[in-house]
């Protein structure tokens, strides 16, 4: 069933495969009057695009996005916005040898079983290449959130395999190819990645995204809570196996007296909750963490089966990221932006005026 749309009021619908002609998206429900151009989208696309460092896939795609509709004289008109990125570096022949096999740890098997067939070229629709359109659409949301509400999103890599960020320097994040906030660990990261490459292996990672200046009141209980929708957005990113809000799984060992964030006339005294209470934003920073698995596209040989059910052994050739967590940073930001944008509109619909009329205690 139709599962390629995200959001209800600010709704993004995407199409496109890894090795098809193009990727595209329709962004529906954008408020009119927002100044937007391709340049606003290209920045984040460039942060996500492959081939920018030796730590990511060598596939080279310019990922140049075109705005085909919904923008007139430099501003959104309120009608649906069509976006398109043409695929240029497809090299389909790389993939012909995996036509009849299921790569272990990949979606080959499940797509084949679900649909009775699959586009095997580079993973087809299951490829993370699809996320380029999420980033493009997210950039529109980001601009609106920033301009209208001063909301700012910061994503970074907090851990790569065994290497954790111990310092947090926001200024560092965009200065290195890892989106890593701890400059002291960059050399270790570089060495780790070199060793990994030699080994033909891949590694997991942890990504964090923080949203600042989110107004109080976003989230629609009891099912469409803000945290529930964030979890949906994040777990829907390729390779993500875990999502946390605020203290996340650390709460398991916390006591109530320790976890609850006390309030004072000056605001909250702590932020264990990660900015969400009862499924509704509290006005504090929203803090989200993701755990991303290591890609299964490695050159270490692995056991699998072919479409006849026979045993095979295979290595995954082609061009792949040894740590998909790195490029997931702009994707996670984009998805959080889409959730916040959708919930901002949802809140407005029901509570016009409430957002500003009530005292902002923070």
Residues 113-172 interacting with a second copy (rule: CB under 8 A):
113-119, 121, 124-126, 130, 159, 161-162
Cβ(234)–Cβ(357) under 8 Å?
Answer: no
Q: Is 54 annotated as a binding residue?
A: yes
Farthest-apart Cα atoms in the chain, separation: 68
Binding positions for a second copy, 24-43, rule CB under 8 A: 24, 26, 28-33
Torsion of CA 214, 220, 226, 227, to 10 degrees: 150
**Residue 53 annotated in ligand binding:** no
User: Judged by CB under 8 A, which of 146, 197, 232, 319 binds a second copy?
Assistant: 232
Residue 197 binds a second copy (CB under 8 A): no
294 labelled binding-site residue = yes
How many Å from the N-terminal Cα to the C-terminal Cα in the chain? 43
Q: Is 357 in the site for a second copy (CB under 8 A)?
A: yes
C-alpha 248/C-alpha 262 separation (Å) is: 18
Token pair for 209 = 């995204």
Q: Which stretch binds a second copy (CB under 8 A): 55-63, 172-180, 183-191, 341-349?
A: 341-349
Considering the complex, state which of residue 51 and residue 204 has its C-beta at the smaller distance from a second copy: 204
Taking CB under 8 A as the rule, does residue 184 contact a second copy? no
Number of residues in contact with a second copy under rule CB under 8 A: 160
- Among 22-30, 35-43, 49-57, 179-187, which window interacts with a second copy (CB under 8 A)? 22-30
Which of 59, 219, 332, 334 is close enough to bind a second copy by CB under 8 A? 219
Residues 6+ apart with CB under 8 A from 110: none
Choosing from 36, 41, 65, 111, the residue that interacts with a second copy (CB under 8 A) is 111
Q: Is 104 in the site for a second copy (CB under 8 A)?
A: yes
The reply on whether position 278 binds a second copy by CB under 8 A is: yes
Angle, in degrees to the nearest 10, between helices 38-48 and 131-149: 130
Is residue 274 a contact residue for a second copy (CB under 8 A)?
yes
Task: Confirm or deny that 328 is annotated as ligand binding.
Answer: no
Q: Spell 308-319 as b/e; 16+ CB within 10 A means b.
A: eeeeeebebebb
According to CB under 8 A, which residues from 233 to 252 bind a second copy? 233-236, 238, 240-252
Residues 79 to 98 in contact with a second copy, rule: CB under 8 A: 79-82, 84
The answer to whether residue 206 forms part of the interface with a second copy (CB under 8 A) is yes
Q: Given the structure tokens 């060598």, which residue do they identify?
A: 58
Q: Taking CB under 8 A as the rule, does residue 65 contact a second copy?
A: no
3-state secondary structure of 349: helix
List Cβ neighbours of 99 (8 Å cut-off, separation of 6 or more): 120
Pairwise CA distance, residues 283 & 347, whole Å: 14
Contacting a second copy within 301-330 (CB under 8 A): 302-305, 309-311
Closest to 285 (Cα-Cα) out of 215, 358, 357: 215
Binding site annotation covers 306? no
Within 10 angstroms of residue 6's Cβ, the number of other Cβ atoms is 22
Per the annotation, binding residues for NADP(+) are: 48, 54
Per the annotation, binding residues for FMN are: 125-127, 238-239, 278, 293-297, 319
């Amino acid at each position: 069933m139709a599962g390629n749309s995200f959001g209800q009021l600010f709704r993004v619908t995407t199409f496109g495969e890894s090795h098809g002609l193009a990727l595209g998206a329709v962004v529906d429900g954008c408020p009119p009057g927002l100044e937007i151009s391709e340049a606003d989208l290209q920045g984040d696309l460039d942060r996500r695009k492959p081939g920018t460092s030796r730590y990511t896939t060598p596939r080279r795609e310019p990922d140049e996005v075109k705005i085909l509709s919904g923008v007139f004289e430099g501003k959104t008109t309120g009608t649906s916005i069509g976006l398109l990125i043409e695929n240029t570096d497809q090299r389909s022949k790389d993939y012909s040898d995996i036509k009849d096999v299921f790569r272990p740890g990949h979606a080959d098997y499940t797509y084949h079983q679900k649909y009775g067939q699959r586009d095997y070229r580079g993973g087809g629709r299951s490829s993370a290449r699809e996320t380029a359109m999420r980033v493009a659409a997210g950039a529109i949301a980001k601009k609106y959130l920033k301009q209208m509400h001063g909301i700012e999103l910061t994503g970074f890599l907090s851990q790569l395999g065994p290497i954790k960020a111990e310092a947090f320097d926001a200024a560092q994040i965009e200065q290195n190819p890892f989106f890593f906030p701890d400059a002291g660990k960059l050399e270790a990261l570089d060495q780790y990645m070199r060793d990994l490459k030699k080994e033909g292996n891949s590694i997991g990672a942890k990504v964090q995204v923080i949203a600042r200046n989110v107004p109080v009141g976003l989230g629609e209980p009891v099912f469409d809570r803000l945290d529930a929708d964030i979890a949906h957005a994040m777990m829907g990113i390729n390779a993500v196996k875990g999502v946390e809000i605020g203290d996340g799984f650390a709460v398991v060992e916390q006591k109530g007296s320790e976890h609850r964030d006390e309030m004072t006339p000056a605001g909250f005294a702590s932020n264990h909750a990660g900015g969400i209470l009862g499924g509704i934003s509290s006005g504090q920073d929203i803090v989200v963490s993701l755990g991303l698995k290591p890609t299964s596209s490695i050159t270490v040989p692995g056991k699998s089966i072919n479409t006849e059910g026979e045993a095979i052994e295979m290595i995954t050739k082609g061009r792949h990221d040894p740590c998909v967590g790195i490029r997931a940073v702009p994707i996670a930001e984009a998805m959080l932006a889409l959730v916040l944008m959708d919930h901002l509109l949802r809140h407005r619909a029901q509570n016009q005026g409430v957002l500003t009329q009530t005292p902002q205690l923070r």
